Amino acid sequence: MKTGAFGSCHPAVNFVYFAFVLACTMIILHPVCLGISLLCAAAYAVLLRGKGAVRRSMKYLLPAMLIAALFNPLFNHRGVTTLGYLPGGNPLTLEAVLYGVAASVMLAAALCWFSCCSAVMTSDKLICLFGRAAPGLSLLLSMVLRFVPQFTARLKAISDAQRCMGHDATHGTMLQRAQNGVRMLSILVTWSLEHAVETADSMKSRGYGLPGRTAFSIYRFDRRDGKVLCLILCAGGVILAGAAAGGLAWSYFPSVRFRETDLFSAGILAAYLVLCALPLMLQALEDISWNISH
Amino acid sequence: MKKRSLDVLLLAVFLLLMPGCGTAGGQAEPTAAAAAEELSGESVPEETAAAVPPSGEPAEASFFRSEPAASQTPAPEPAASPTPPEETALTCSLWIRCDTILDHLDRLTEEKAGLVPESGVLLCLEAVPFDEGESVFDVLLRVTREQEIHLEFVGTPFYRSAYVEGIGNLYEFDCGELSGWSYKVNGAFPGCGCSLYELSGGDIIEWVYTCDLGKDVGGTNGWEDAA
């Protein structure tokens, strides 16, 4: 899979970046930060997975956002600005509505970042990162993470083959379709079990579990990785220190209160933008240098 | 095995990302006000015990009984009604106080500091009219709406119970973990929920915010009586 300029960095850089950006997204409730995070995550997801895939995941994400935004004021009645009264007798407050919107944006941004993370952090990167410290865990993690995609791919192959033979799960009577579906499921399970046995045999024949094993990885920590990591740590440090000093203070209850945007908070927001847009900037730089050299 | 761990992972992520719905519905019972009422219920004075309505005689105008309430409101209109006109003009006094917070401002949640008035009195109304059969909670709900004071409660219609979580955005647990709203009628804590206490004319209702499980607002908590 194409993982772009940032994806070609060292796994440690990727890991630190996603840890920082996810933590910031989930902790900081400043609306500007949430907006920056969502926009950058969505743009990066488009870059990584293409417009079609993002549009498909929007079908689930937008209703989830809507539900999150709508449900909060139904169950949360805090806040001084009463807009009306719910049938249950409790007040509907402006603050709860705003908080619901913020929470839904945060949900969407975090999900977008997770989708980018899973596209970039491939299983070989996970093995490279944790293969030495926790070989069992990283092997298990990489197997778990590829489990669902592998299942889907196999199911598609089976269903294509069955359709060629006329045993399609989308045509025929209810009973026929059920029969075909169950047959496909049976093939899928058999295939997966057989594959598991083969994997185990293969691993055993290559000496899995013997002492003195090394973990293979093709990643090298070069100068560019150092620079990127430095940038991530600087931006992250500025954001964390600034947030701890109250530069991004924004409370929704009991009334919306926030720090006026001054030079200090603007600086932190700029650092936040740099952190979130880092993969996009790296990609842009790479594109520019590619176009110049050609 | 693999699938299960993936499920658990997904569930954990989902729970982490769930937006904070600030409800405390499940915690309604063990809170300060309810606990204070429950505990003092062991040694209820006779007059407050007598004031608890028998279960067979529900409050007609109660918030949870919308249909009887609707049928009762037109009831005074026919002049042949058995209730004399002077009895329909029942009144009570309503106080909402949070002066105990003033002694414990250090414990108060930071954002709520601006909500506590210097006098510690959120509301003081003499002569609040109410209909026969209305409960303390009905009066509170109506008056807070009229006065545009914030009120959040957890209502369980099945038990006709209402638990007051917050008044004027001052919530339970906002001033320490033993804090919350409780109510007195004529200076005594009735040992029942506010939606079950049927008012009689001239009653003085006091909604008080306790920071110490009722001890700082004159409640005995049941323990000192026993000792």
Render the burial of B93-110: b for 16+ CB within 10 Å, e for the rest.
Answer: ebbbbbbbbeeeeeebbe
In this predicted structure, what is the pLDDT of residue A145?
Answer: 81
Candidates A91, A103, A144; nearest CB to B20: A103
- Could you state, in order of their start, the residue ranges of all structural domains in chain A? 4-126+222-293, 148-204
Q: Which of the four pLDDT bands, split at 50, 70 and 90, describes residue A124?
A: confident
Question: Is the distance from CB of A253 to CB of B111 less than 8 angstroms?
Answer: yes
A257 contacts on B by Cβ (under 8 Å): 111
In this predicted structure, what is the pLDDT of residue B10?
Answer: 52
Q: Concatenated DSSP letters for A170-216?
A: TSS-HHHHHHHHHHHHHHHHHHHHHHHHHHHHHHHHTTTT-TT----
In this predicted structure, what is the pLDDT of residue B46?
Answer: 38
- Distance of alpha carbon A115 from alpha carbon A108, whole angstroms: 11
Residue contact B6–A144, C-beta within 8 A = yes
A103 → chain B, closest CA residue: B19
- Interface predicted TM-score (ipTM): 0.71
Residue contact B166–A78, C-beta within 8 A = yes
- Distance of alpha carbon A122 from alpha carbon A17, whole angstroms: 15
In this predicted structure, what is the pLDDT of residue B63?
Answer: 67
- Range among B40-54, B56-70, B120-134, B209-223 with highest mean pLDDT value: B120-134
Expressed in angstroms, the distance from the first to the final Cα of chain B is 58
Summarize pLDDT for A33-56 with one digit per residue, the tens: 999 999 999 999 999 999 999 999
Instruction: State how far residue A166 is from chain B, nearest Cα, in angstroms.
Output: 31
- Distance of alpha carbon B59 from alpha carbon A212, whole angstroms: 80
B114 → chain A, closest CA residue: A254
Question: Is the distance from CB of B213 to CB of B178 less than 8 angstroms?
Answer: yes
- Distance of alpha carbon A26 from alpha carbon A205, whole angstroms: 45
Q: C-alpha A266: how far from its chain's center? A: 27
- Strand arrangement of the beta sheet that strand B170-171 belongs to: B151-156, B161-167, B170-171
Domains present along chain B, CATH in parentheses: 52-67+89-227 (2.170.130.30)
Instruction: State how far residue B164 is from chain A, nearest Cα, in angstroms.
Output: 11
In this predicted structure, what is the pLDDT of residue B6?
Answer: 53
Two tokens, residue A244: 């701890």
pLDDT exceeds 70 at position B60: no
| Residue with the two structure tokens 């918030």 | B63
Render the burial of A70-98: b for 16+ CB within 10 Å, e for the rest.
Answer: ebbbbebbbbbbbeeeeeebbbbbbbbbb
- Range among A160-174, A180-194, B206-220 with highest mean pLDDT value: A180-194
**Interacting residues of B85 by C-beta distance below 8 A, sequence separation 6+:** none
Question: Is the distance from CB of B92 to CB of B203 less than 8 angstroms?
Answer: yes
Instruction: State how far residue B147 is from chain A, nearest Cα, in angstroms.
Output: 12
Two tokens, residue A165: 């033979």
CA angle B3, B9, B11 (to 5 degrees): 105
Question: Is the distance from CB of B211 to CB of B176 less than 8 angstroms?
Answer: yes
- Distance of alpha carbon A294 from alpha carbon A272, whole angstroms: 33
| Residue with the two structure tokens 């320490």 | B176
The larger pLDDT score, comparing residue A214 to residue B153, is at B153
The larger pLDDT score, comparing residue A289 to residue B32, is at A289
Averaged over A176-196, what is the pLDDT? 93
Instruction: State how far residue A170 is from chain B, nearest Cα, in angstroms.
Output: 26
- Distance of alpha carbon A131 from alpha carbon A215, whole angstroms: 6
Candidates A71, A82, A143; nearest CB to B21: A71
- Distance of alpha carbon A83 from alpha carbon A100, whole angstroms: 15
Least confident of A130-139, A264-273, B129-138, B218-227: B218-227
Q: What percent of chain B has pLDDT over 90?
A: 46
Q: Concatenated DSSP letters for A116-164?
A: HHHHHS-HHHHHHHHTTT-HHHHHHHHHHHHHHHHHHHHHHHHHHHHHH
The CA-atom distances, in angstroms, between A217 and each of A3, A132, A190, A214, B124 are: 17, 11, 32, 10, 74
Q: What percent of chain A has pLDDT over 90?
A: 72
Give, as one character, the DSSP assignment of residue B91.
E
H or E segment and range at residue B95: strand B90-97
Two tokens, residue A109: 């941004």
B63 contacts on A by Cβ (under 8 Å): 89
Q: Which of the four pLDDT bands, split at 50, 70 and 90, describes residue B170?
A: very high
Q: Which of the four pLDDT bands, split at 50, 70 and 90, describes residue B27?
A: very low
In this predicted structure, what is the pLDDT of residue A136?
Answer: 83
Q: Are strands B204-210 and B90-97 parallel, antiparallel or unpaired?
A: parallel
Two tokens, residue A90: 């409790």
Q: Which of the four pLDDT bands, split at 50, 70 and 90, describes residue A116?
A: very high
Q: Which of the four pLDDT bands, split at 50, 70 and 90, describes residue B7?
A: low
B164 → chain A, closest CA residue: A90
Candidates B17, B19, B169; nearest CB to A254: B169
- Distance of alpha carbon B106 from alpha carbon B103, whole angstroms: 8
Instruction: State how far residue B53 is from chain A, nearest Cα, in angstroms.
Output: 23
Can you say whether the dihedral through the CA atoms of A261, B21, B123, B221 is positive or negative? negative
- Distance of alpha carbon B32 from alpha carbon B24, whole angstroms: 13
Q: What percent of chain B has pLDDT over 70?
A: 58
Residue contact A253–B22, C-beta within 8 A = yes
In this predicted structure, what is the pLDDT of residue A132?
Answer: 80
Residue contact B152–A71, C-beta within 8 A = no
A38 contacts on B by Cβ (under 8 Å): none
B156 → chain A, closest CA residue: A88
Candidates B17, B19, B150; nearest CB to A100: B19
| Interface with chain A: mutation pick from B65, B146, B152, highest number of A CBs within 10 Å | B152
The larger pLDDT score, comparing residue B66 to residue A94, is at A94
- Distance of alpha carbon A26 from alpha carbon A114, whole angstroms: 12
A99 contacts on B by Cβ (under 8 Å): 19-20
H or E segment and range at residue A106: helix A94-120
Comparing CA positions, the residue from B121, B133, B151, B144 lying closest to residue B51 is B133
In this predicted structure, what is the pLDDT of residue A213?
Answer: 76
In this predicted structure, what is the pLDDT of residue B222?
Answer: 59
Residue contact B63–A257, C-beta within 8 A = no
Instruction: State how far residue A98 is from chain B, nearest Cα, in angstroms.
Output: 12
Q: Would residue B98 be called left, alpha or beta, if left means φ above 0 and alpha means ψ between -120 and 50 degrees?
A: alpha
**Interacting residues of A14 by C-beta distance below 8 A, sequence separation 6+:** A6, A7, A120, A121, A125
In this predicted structure, what is the pLDDT of residue A12?
Answer: 95
